[in-house]
Amino acid sequence: MPTILTHPAVPLMLGLALGRARIARPLLAAGIGAAIAPDLDVIGFRLGIGYAEDLGHRGISHSLLFAVVLGLLALAAAPWLRTRRASAFAFVAASAASHGLLDMCTNGGLGVALLWPFSDARLFFPAHPIQVSPFSLGRVFGPDAARLFGSELLWVWLPCALAGLAVLMLRRRSDSARAAVPP
């Protein structure tokens, strides 16, 4: 998994690129929470749940179904998130889904149960350039921290920044074109 510091990159990129008019701060916060939430499954280790079990790490909580459930919760909470229901659902579900997709790009672990409950298979993308993060914060900031964070900067933050910049430029071009057309 990328670190808990990197999973918010996707909702942050989308929020910054689309702007506060489209992604209100409460919605952005919900998206960041949804991008981090799948890793709450590490609590299972303390409860005796094995890594490879459905409720284990990178299991149910990393599935697209889990992302849809979080999206539905956001849909119900749309008034508090200061957005339309469809926007709340789409943003939060995409933010949660990004977690499993990023984990599928890492070079360690057992893979991601992305298609659970339809498949128990643990999946990786064919290429996995992102350095897997250790579970211990002490090890995250240990001797391999430069390699770990360098990998995340190169393979997650830089692409997110470039994609966000592209969306921002397209949005501004679209907004200025609309402003130039007389009513």
Task: Please check the confidence at residue 158 and state whether its pLDDT lies above 80.
Answer: yes
Task: Over range 46-63, report the average pLDDT.
Answer: 95
pTM score > 0.85 for this model? yes
Task: Give, rounded to a whole angstrom, the gap between the first and last alpha carbons of the chain.
Answer: 50
pLDDT per position as a tens digit, 111-131: 999 999 999 999 999 999 999
Task: Please check the confidence at residue 40 and state whether its pLDDT lies above 80.
Answer: yes
* pLDDT of the residue at 93: 98
23: left (phi > 0), else alpha (psi -120 to 50), else beta?
beta
What is the identity of the amino acid at 38? Answer: P
* pLDDT of the residue at 177: 79
**151-154: long-range contacts, CB 8 A cutoff, minimum separation 24:** 152/2, 152/3, 152/5, 152/6, 154/129
| Percent residues over pLDDT 70 in the chain | 99
Indicate the DSSP class of residue 38: G
Q: How far apart are CA 54 and CA 107, in angstroms?
A: 21
Within 10 A of 68 (CB to CB), how many other CB atoms are there? 15
pLDDT per position as a tens digit, 80-113: 999 999 999 999 999 999 999 999 999 999 999 9
